[in-house]
Amino acid sequence: MDTKTSNGERRHVTIKLWPPSQNTRQMLVERMTNNLSAPTIFTRKYGSISEIEASKFAKQIEESAFSSANQHYEREPDGDGSSAVQWYASECSKLCLDALKGGYKIEEKETMSSKVSPAAHDTFFDISKGQRAFIEEDEAQTLLSPLKDPGNFYTRICFSNRSFGLGAAHVAGPILSAIKSQLTEVDLSDFVAGRPEAEALDVMTIFSEALEGSHLKYLNLSDNALGEKGVRAFSMLLQSQTDLEELYLMNDGISEEAARAVCELVPSTQKLRVLHFHNNMTGDAGAVSVSQILRRCPLLEDFRCSSTRVGSDGGVALTEALSECKNLKKLDIRDNMFGVEAGIKLSEALVKHEYLTEIYLSYLNLEDAGAIAIAGALKETAPSLEVLEMAGNDITAEAAPALASCIAKKTALVKLNLSENDLKDDGVLLISKALGVEHDQLKEVDMSQNSLRRAAARTLAQALVNKPAFKLLNINGNFISDEGIDELKDIFKENPDKLGPLDENDPDGEDFDDKDSGDEEDEGGQNELEVRLKNLDVNLEE
């Protein structure tokens, strides 16, 4: 969904679809129980399961599918979670069918004590499960007691999703101080939610003092609305770290001043491999401070600075600094206002990143000039690129030859997202041709909202349907005729779950710039398609 800011600029707003609520998950379990035990076309073919056994199967199937989809979401955080929802539904369907065929077995789980206690050599202490809740002094004494057991082996702790008050913090402080020498990973994300600012800052300071001098490799302070005051409340912890490999500061209100504080208080970044700043209000000036941090990160592999209100000047600063991060594997700078100039600067940096496997460049206002420059750079580097996202960048068919030429060389592609652009039939036809037989690892393609019609949609579907690993084609929100929809369903008739929903398609949609380029039916449309393919002026093998 698009909205406009006060100065008229378009901003992209996403609605989170993942994770599903507990109620939704329970309803799915009940539905699967019924599908496994009640008369259906599948139970008549393979045999039904008793209701008691079906309930056991359904619960285990849902848990397995949810876990798999959640991992998919964490690996490919698309923003709205729609990909994870699709994965979740697909896994449930597949496992239900396996259960009916007799290929899926119920795993007997050992009865677990509800009390939190360290198993032999348990290294992970996690209190984040369940609903968000406040923790006060008495509960903290009980909840954190395993950390006081002599000789415990905990090296990783997660206090996320539980809001610590001042009393609970005073309980946690001495406990953490006593075990800090053995800790390597600390997750304090979302651990002061709903607390007054003064109390939250005091809690942060107590935790910071307790953990000062620890040798952490992983630190997550996300979802705490830190701002500059919060960042400085953690100054003792941040300044004492010399071995950090992963630092997460997402959804933390990281403004210009807060970004400057991070740059000042994290002096040792020589070992940093992962740095995430997603969903902050960093802006151009803040991006300059972040760029200074990047220049001190020679080993950086994963950088995320998405939805941070960075414009052209900040984008140029970031991309120039990224030129020095030559080990980069994953780059996510979606949903900023870079524009063409920063896009071209980014292309100059990308030439140096031969190890890139994932790049997320959606909603950057790149336009054709920026997209062409970036495609040209990626064509010459990143041979193992698996994910390419450039949605919502006002890209037209003019940039399609450059994109197609780049995509043709990326035979390791797993996911391609060019949705919410204006590629139209000519552009998508060319890109379809680029997705050759060598692209046998491709799983997901999103060409939704690109003013496509019947011929281009059919050609794209035919290019993808027989790829061995393929799972999902999204071409919703286009101008495909009713006959074209029938063709698509026929192409995917053996695997209907691989064709995404088409509920937002508009068969009566008009292309006012090209009224006569036609969605001719049957032979006429196919002849026109063949002519277009023959006339495409690009050598995909260059």
- For tokens 């539905």, the residue is 31
Answer yes or no: is pLDDT of 184 > 50: yes
Answer yes or no: is pLDDT of 108 > 50: no
CA angle at 187 for the pair 184 and 188, rounded to the nearest 5°: 130
Length of the chain equals 542
Encode pLDDT of 189-245 as tens digits: 999 999 999 999 999 999 999 999 999 999 999 999 999 999 999 999 999 999 999
pLDDT given at position 67: 81
d(CA 480, CA 474): 13
pLDDT given at position 263: 96
Encode pLDDT of 283-340 as tens digits: 999 999 999 999 999 999 999 999 999 999 999 999 999 999 999 999 999 999 999 9
Banded model confidence at residue 77, pLDDT cuts 50, 70, 90: low
pLDDT given at position 45: 66
Out of 109-118, 337-346, 509-518, pick the least confident: 109-118
Answer yes or no: is pLDDT of 535 > 70: no
DSSP calls for 53-115: HHHHHHHHHHHHHHHHHHHHHHHS--SS-HHHHHHHHHHHHHHHHHHHHT---PPPPPP--SS
pLDDT given at position 520: 42
Answer yes or no: is pLDDT of 515 > 50: no
Whole-number average pLDDT of the chain: 86
Give the predicted TM-score (pTM) of the model.
Answer: 0.74
Q: 3-state SS of 421-485?
A: CECHHHHHHHHHHHCCCCCCCCCEEECCCCCCCHHHHHHHHHHHCCCCCCCEEECCCCCCCHHHH
Query: Left (φ > 0), alpha (ψ -120 to 50) or beta: where does 130 sit?
Result: left
Percent of the chain at pLDDT > 90 equals 69
pLDDT given at position 105: 60
Answer yes or no: is pLDDT of 30 > 50: yes
Out of 16-20, 211-215, 408-412, pick the least confident: 16-20
Encode pLDDT of 44-57 as tens digits: 666 777 777 778 88
Domains of the chain: 22-101 (1.10.246.200), 121-268 (3.80.10.10)
Answer yes or no: is pLDDT of 276 > 50: yes
Strands 10-12 and 2-4: antiparallel
Task: Find out whether 211 and 191 touch, Cβ atoms under 8 Å.
Answer: no
pLDDT given at position 58: 84
Run of H or E residues at 185: strand 185-187
